[in-house]
Amino acid sequence: MGYKPPFSITDDMIQMLSEISEFIGHINVSNHLSTNPKLRRANRIKTIQASLAIENNSLSLDQVTAILNGKRILGAPQEIREVKNAYEAYEILLDFEPLSIEDMLKAHKILMLDLVKENGRFRSGGVGIFNGDKVVHVAPPANRVLELMQELIEWYKESKVHPLIKSCVFHYEFEFIHPFADGNGRMGRMWHTLLLSQWKEVFAWIPIETLVKERQAEYYEALGKADRDADSTVFIEFMLIIIRDVLSEMTTQEN
Which pLDDT tens digit goes with each residue over 10-57? Answer: 999 999 999 999 999 988 877 677 678 898 999 999 999 999 999 999
Q: Which of 108, 171, 178, 192 is catalytic?
A: 178
pTM: 0.94
186 is in an annotated binding site: yes
219 is in an annotated binding site: yes
- Residue 126, pLDDT score: 85
Q: What are phi and psi of 129, to 5 degrees?
A: -110, 130
75 is in an annotated binding site: no
Cα-Cα-Cα-Cα dihedral sign, residues 118, 123, 129, 135: negative
1 pLDDT more than 70: no
Residue-range domains of the chain with CATH = 33-125+139-250 (1.10.3290.10)
- Residue 105, pLDDT score: 98
Q: Is 137 a catalytic residue?
A: no
Which pLDDT tens digit goes with each residue over 156-207? Answer: 999 999 999 999 999 999 999 999 999 999 999 999 999 999 999 999 999 9
128 is in an annotated binding site: no
220 is in an annotated binding site: yes
Return d(Cα 177, Cα 194) in angstroms, integer: 19
- Which residues, 6+ apart, have CB-to-CB distance to 176 below 8 Å? 137, 139, 140, 226, 227
Question: Of 109, 93, 95, 135, which is closest to residue 227 (Cα–Cα)?
Answer: 135
